[in-house]
Structure 1
Amino acid sequence: MQDLEIYIRDLEAGTVSRWLESNVEQLQLDDSDVASVIKGTASFNNEHLNITLYPRAFGKRFTCLILEGGQLPWDSDLACARSAWKALETEIRCSPGAWKEGEPIADEKWWRLDSRGEQLVVWN
């Protein structure tokens, strides 16, 4: 199973489902209230996807979006973040590379995509 993980600043209700509708099939995601954890499903290339939104990740302003499945619409967190930035027009952050649970974080830099462009930054 593969996964993609991005962080969305100041997420507004309904925006993730509107964005994902054009990238996946059979979307089942009720993001009309983004104050608590939301779980949903979809498919991509006939493969099942799990979708989870975690509000208040890295402080109160970011929501973590995780997509998990055998095949995903994007080949990296950064590609997913770029698509989200174009659709949502709010700051998006993601890890600069592959990381697995339990591994130490080698570098504290993250990709930040916003009106200033794409930059590697320290999260704070």
Structure 2
Amino acid sequence: MRQPDIEIYLKDADVDHKAIAAWLGAALGPCTAWVQRGQTYKCTAGDVPVTWLPKAVGKWNSLYLESDQTPWEDDIACARAAFAALNVEVRCAPGSWVEEEGEESADTWIRISKDGEEQITWKTT
């Protein structure tokens, strides 16, 4: 089932919002100029509103695509594409998380890196 939006986390080492814009421009359509509000950057790629939050969780940057109209069915598909395009470690939730699932499942993430793909426990709070 297609997720209503997509959020992935990219390791801070080698990626910034300009590299993200180039990738999203190729995948979704041309990006508007980034508008910075505080620590948050926003643009639109094609018809998709995009939010980039550097260092959202420690050294991890959040990329939020506020639409179900992307080429990716879910966070994992987007994370795989981001890793392939940017060659940077990516983490995402394995599916849509809802509060009823409890705190334990909130710490279950998928990690995609040069080592492959694996399920990890990542405490983000």
TM-score of the pair, normalised by structure 1: 0.81
CA RMSD after TM alignment? 2.3
- 1:56 paired residue number: 55
Q: Tell me if structure 1 keeps the 8 A contact 2:24–2:45.
A: no
Task: Choose the corresponding residue for 1:66, options 64, 67, 81.
Answer: 64
Displacement over 2 Å in runs of 4+: 102-106
Distance 1:123 1:86, change over 3 A: same
Between 61-70 and 89-98, the greater mean CA deviation after superposition: 61-70
Specify which structure has the higher proportion of helix: 2
**Once the 2 structures are TM-superposed, how far is the Cα of residue 29 of structure 1 from its aligned partner?**
4.2
> Which residue in 2 is equivalent to 1:9?
11
TM-score, structure 2 length as denominator? 0.81
Counterpart for residue 114 of structure 1: 113
- What stretches of structure 2 of length at least 5 have no aligned partner? none
User: Residues 19-38 of structure 1 correspond to what in structure 2 (within 5 A)?
Assistant: 19-30=23-34, 36-38=39-41
User: 1:2–1:72: 8 Å Cα contact kept in structure 2?
Assistant: no
